[in-house]
Amino acid sequence: MPANDLVAISLFSGAGGLDLGVEAASLPDVGSRFVVRAAVERNADAAATMEKNFDLSSSVIQDDILNVPTEKILEAAGLSGGDRPDLLVGGPPCTPFSKSGYWLKWKREGLDPDASLLQEYTRVLRESKPRAFILENVYSLTYNNRASRPAFERLLREIDEAGYDCAWQVLHAADYGVPQARPRLFIIGVPKGQKMPTHPDPTHGGSWERRSTGKSERPHVTAGEALADVISEPEPGETVAGKYGHLLPGIPPGENYLHYTEERGHPDPQFKWRSKYWSFLLKLSPEKPSPTIQAQPGPYVGPFHWENRRLRIPEMKRLFTFPDEFEFGGSRGSIQAQIGNSVPPALACQVATAILKVL
């Protein structure tokens, strides 16, 4: 590895969206860059994806992090004799705190065992002593409710006890050039007493959830712009069929099942007002960023393409800012899950660049 490369370690790597952005981080006239030298990912398909796209043929630890000691991770990264990584990154699974999961009582009450994975991140932070870290998660982790608030306060306390100052901020992906409305929590930090990085400023702006966000001088990248030149072939199962599939063509781009309600003036209402989740029969608008793309959508959960079908893999890659040539391992369903769980690389790159400035 070149002497000016900075060693990064990745936890809960998934398909590597965060890692891809970390490796793309750069500064004018500065030769240093981050290189991910070890990754921990328990899902076999996601681990295969990491191996296909990163120089990690022998350094992807495919195992549950509960079973992986920090020493093994450092060894996989080629670190020994007290050497420490320059950067630790990772996004522990967000299911316990995701906004879409609050309909489950046991998650609202903080009983999901996956919540403890936040503690696995802080365990590796404490033991590996990196020069900086990035922790990404769902923005609803910051909510003041029974499930999220105690977990978030404990996380910040453990970061402090590990010897780190940190700053957290919810970043809206569309404000950073990603053609998708996707707010995410980013916690960044360095050892106490060292210069703190700051979260990157937005590069784009527009309307989101009935308010203006970002930098208004440069409009959000729209789904239409992102998909304009995508070359894709029809995929098996892309047709939306079943009980409600025939309703999709009648929904205008950018709208959802509410189109078929009495309140919207439909002559033959099919649904009660607000009787479904907002993404039910949700259709992309080519004039706006895509709504958040989910990892495991139900049969009628969008966003669907304005051509009245499911999104194809090359289209989802574009809406997440993965390179067209990026290869995924696994079945169609597995790839959707990998993409839907990813950090958009273009957003990750800007966060990692802010870290690079202080290192």
- Calculate ∠ Cα 175-221-180, nearest 5°: 65
Catalytic residue (one of 8, 94, 284, 346): 94
Print burial letters for 236-258: b (CB count within 10 Å at least 16), e (below 16): eebebeeebbebbeebebbebbb
Instruction: For residues 181 and 288, give the distance between their C-alpha atoms in angstroms, rounded to a whole number.
Output: 9
Whether 288 contacts 220, CB under 8 Å: yes
Residues 6+ apart with CB under 8 A from 80: 74
Q: Is 136 helix (H, G, I), strand (E, B) or coil?
A: strand
> Is 349 a residue of the active site?
no
Instruction: For residues 108 and 102, give the distance between their C-alpha atoms in angstroms, rounded to a whole number.
Output: 5
Residue 27's DSSP bridge partners are 30
CA atoms within 13 A on the CB side of 46: 26
- Calculate ∠ Cα 311-314-319, nearest 5°: 70
Q: Is 35 helix (H, G, I), strand (E, B) or coil?
A: strand
Instruction: For residues 93 and 133, give the distance between their C-alpha atoms in angstroms, rounded to a whole number.
Output: 17
Instruction: For residues 97 and 149, give the distance between their C-alpha atoms in angstroms, rounded to a whole number.
Output: 10
Residue 107 token pair: 């998650």
Query: In the 3-class helix/strand/coil scheme, how is 186-217 assigned residue by residue?
Result: EEEEEECCCCCCCCCCCCCEEEECCEEEECCC
Closest C-alpha among 232, 251, 229, 224 to residue 240: 251
Catalytic residue numbers? Answer: 94
